[in-house]
Structure 1
Amino acid sequence: MADATMLTAPGPDGEDREVRLSSPDKVVWPADEASAAITKADLAAYLTAVAEPMLRGLADRPVTLQRVRGGIEGEVFYSKNPPKGVPGWSRTTMVTYPSGRSHPQLVVDDLATLLWTAQMGTVTWHPWPVRTGDNDHPDEVRIDLDPQPGRAFADVVEAARGLREVMQEVGLSPHVKTTGNRGVHVFAAIEPRLEFLEVRHAVIGLARELERRLPDLVTTAWWKEERGERIFVDFNQATRDRTLAAAWSPRIQPGAPVSVPVTWEQLGDVVPGELTVHTAPAWLSEHGDPWAGLHDQPGRIDGAYALWEADRERGLGELNFPPDHPKMPGEPPRVQPSKKVAEHWDEDGNRIEG
Structure 2
Amino acid sequence: MATTPRLTSPERVVFPQVGVTKGDVAEYYRAVSRWLLPELIRRPLSLVRCPDGVEGTCFFQKHHADSLGEHVRKIHLREVSGADDYLFVEDLDGVLELVQMNALEFHVWGARTDDVEKPDRLVFDLDPDEGIEWNALKAAARDVRDRLGDLRLRSWVRMSGGKGVHVVVPIRPGPDWTQVKAFCEAFADSMVARAPERYIATASKAKREGLIFIDWLRNTRGATSVASWSLRAKPGATVAMPLTWEELGRVRQAGAFDLRKALRRSRNLKRDPWHAMYRVRQTLPERI
Question: Which bracket does the TM-score occupy, shorter chain normalised?
Answer: over 0.9
Q: SS where residue 64 of structure 1 aligns?
A: strand
- Whether 2:159 is the aligned partner of 1:178: answer yes
CA offset at residue 65 of structure 1?
A: 1.2
CA offset at residue 272 of structure 1?
A: 3.5
Alignment partner of 2:16 out of 21, 30, 48? 30
Contact 1:62 1:107 survives alignment (8 Å): yes
Contact 2:63 2:86 survives alignment (8 Å): yes
- Whether 2:285 is the aligned partner of 1:299: answer no
In structure 1, distance between residues paired with 2:53 and 2:140: 34
User: Equivalences for 1:156-235 in 2 at 5 Å?
Assistant: 156-235=137-216
Q: TM-score with structure 2 length normalisation? A: 0.94
State the match for 1:7 in structure 2: none
Gaps of 5+ in 2: none
- Whether 2:255 is the aligned partner of 1:273: answer yes
State the match for 1:40 in structure 2: 22
State the match for 2:31 in structure 1: 49
In structure 1, distance between residues paired with 2:100 and 2:71: 16
Q: What letter corresponds to residue 104 of structure 1 in structure 2?
A: D
CA offset at residue 280 of structure 1?
A: 0.2
In structure 2, distance between residues paired with 1:93 and 1:247: 22
In structure 2, distance between residues paired with 1:154 and 1:269: 10
Contact 1:153 1:183 survives alignment (8 Å): no
- Identity, % of aligned pairs? 31
In structure 1, distance between residues paired with 2:109 and 2:246: 27
User: Equivalences for 1:1-354 in 2 at 5 Å?
Assistant: 17-31=3-17, 36-97=18-79, 99-270=80-251, 271-287=253-269, 288-302=271-285, 305-307=286-288
Q: What letter corresponds to residue 122 of structure 2 in structure 1?
A: V
Between the two proteins, the alignment pairs up a number of residues equal to: 286
Q: What letter corresponds to residue 281 of structure 2 in structure 1?
A: P
Query: Which string of whole-angstrom CA distances, capped at 9 and with x for unpartnered residues, describes residues 130-165 of structure 1?
Result: 111111111101110000111012111111000001
Contact 2:122 2:219 survives alignment (8 Å): yes
CA offset at residue 222 of structure 1?
A: 2.6
Contact 1:62 1:128 survives alignment (8 Å): yes
> Which structure would you say has the larger Rg?
1
In structure 2, distance between residues paired with 1:269 and 1:232: 23
In structure 2, distance between residues paired with 1:158 and 1:152: 10
Gaps of 5+ in 1: 1-14, 308-354
In structure 1, distance between residues paired with 2:230 and 2:40: 10
In structure 1, distance between residues paired with 2:214 and 2:67: 39
Q: SS where residue 272 of structure 1 aligns?
A: coil
CA offset at residue 54 of structure 1?
A: 0.7
CA offset at residue 180 of structure 1?
A: 0.3
Query: Which string of whole-angstrom CA distances, capped at 9 and with x for unpartnered residues, describes residues 165-209 of structure 1?
Result: 111111211000000011101111111111112111111122122
In structure 2, distance between residues paired with 1:122 and 1:241: 19
In structure 1, distance between residues paired with 2:69 and 2:59: 21
In structure 2, distance between residues paired with 1:201 and 1:50: 35
Contact 2:51 2:101 survives alignment (8 Å): no
Q: What letter corresponds to residue 67 of structure 1 in structure 2?
A: R
Q: CA RMSD in A?
A: 1.6
CA offset at residue 100 of structure 1?
A: 4.4
Q: SS where residue 124 of structure 2 aligns?
A: strand
Higher relative contact order (CA 8 A, sep 6+): 2
Q: TM-score with structure 1 length normalisation? A: 0.77
CA offset at residue 110 of structure 1?
A: 0.6
Dislocated runs of 4+, deviation >6 Å: none
Q: What letter corresponds to residue 282 of structure 1 in structure 2?
A: R
